[in-house]
Amino acid sequence: SYVLTQPPSVSVAPGKTARITCGGNNIGSKSVHWYQQKPGQAPVLVIYYDSDRPSGIPERFSGSNSGNTATLTISRVEAGDEADYYCQVWDSSSDHPVVFGGGTKLTVL
Amino acid sequence: QITLKESGPTLVKPTQTLTLTCTFSGFSLSTSGVGVGWIRQPPGKALEWLALIYWDDDKRYSPSLKSRLTITKDTSKNQVVLTMTNMDPVDTATYYCAHRVATRVVYFDYWGQGTLVTVSS
């Protein structure tokens, strides 16, 4: 089945830009979705179709996807952005069609 | 407004069967393209997709758990039920149900609050 690889942790100072990567074989040919999960809470969709934002998600959150890497970018990071972030793809040709990455813990210094 | 809520036992014994119910509102599982998925998360670990049921009753399962899982829907009650047989302590996790957007790919735009299931004798 398809594998998504995320760094376990990313640290960033307030006001700076955080970039969280999601690696997969030719992931650029798939649509990538990102979820934010704060402690004790359910995941929240923050980016879908690589770079679209649901209503209510700040413009500071953006996404890109090309080649073997998708990236979630959080600009002007705030303390409230500290959370775990998961990427997800749908692999229609697989018998395991819904795949999540291992998650990245974003720490705001 | 779409909402989902999981319900079921908080504690099950090893070898028992787990039955979880997802009760939702704000959408209909008879609407073309709509689906409901189950995802779990062991304490301190990553999200793991379990199963997905579509409006047309098509079902997909995680291959590693397929032999133990059954997903069904009751459109009239706005419920989706997941059963998992032969529970083991490694199945201890928070179980989430989530709404699948009616689109060409699968992602989840609304999630339930989750329910923690502990497997222990």
The pLDDT score that the predictor gives to residue A91 is 86
Pick from B62, B101, B111: CB nearest A43 = B111
What 3-state class would DSSP assign to A71? strand
The pLDDT score that the predictor gives to residue A84 is 98
Pick from A54, A86, A98: CB nearest B106 = A98
Shortest distance, CA B13 to any CA of chain A (angstroms): 24
Is A99 touching B (CB cutoff 8 A)?
Answer: yes
The chain A residue lying nearest B52, using CA atoms, is: A98
The pLDDT score that the predictor gives to residue A70 is 98
How many contacts does A have with B, using Cβ atoms within 8 A?
57
* Torsion sign across C-alpha atoms B45, B51, B103, A67: positive
**Strands (DSSP E) along chain A, which ranges?**
9-12, 18-23, 32-37, 44-47, 61-66, 69-74, 83-90, 98-100, 104-108
The pLDDT score that the predictor gives to residue B96 is 98
Shortest distance, CA A101 to any CA of chain B (angstroms): 8
Shortest distance, CA B6 to any CA of chain A (angstroms): 12
Give B72-91 as a DSSP string: EEEGGGTEEEEEE-S--GGG
**B9-38 core/surface letters (b: 16 or more CB in 10 A; e: else):** eeebeeeeebebbbbbeebebeeeebbbbb
pLDDT band at B101 (very low <50, low <70, confident <90, very high): confident
Residues of chain A with Cβ-Cβ distance to B39 below 8 Å are: 100
pLDDT band at B111 (very low <50, low <70, confident <90, very high): very high
B118 within 8 A of B10, measured Cβ to Cβ: yes
The pLDDT score that the predictor gives to residue A63 is 98
The whole-number average pLDDT for the span A81-99 is 91
Name the token pair of B92: 């201890």
* Unique residue bearing structure tokens 């090309």: A66
CB contact under 8 A, A45 and B107: yes
CB contact under 8 A, A42 and B37: no
The whole-number average pLDDT for the span B12-39 is 96
Give the closest residue to B105 by CA, choosing from A96, A23, A95, A48.
Answer: A48
The pLDDT score that the predictor gives to residue A94 is 80
Report the distance separating Cα B92 and Cα A44, nearest Å.
22
Give the lowest-confidence range in A41-50, A73-82, B20-29, B101-110.
B101-110
pLDDT digits (tens, 9 = 90+) for B56-99: 999 999 999 999 999 999 999 999 999 999 999 999 999 999 99
B10: left (phi over 0), alpha (psi -120 to 50) or beta: alpha
B120 within 8 A of B89, measured Cβ to Cβ: yes
A86 to A9, A19, A90: CA distances (angstroms)? 12, 13, 14
CB contact under 8 A, B46 and A88: no
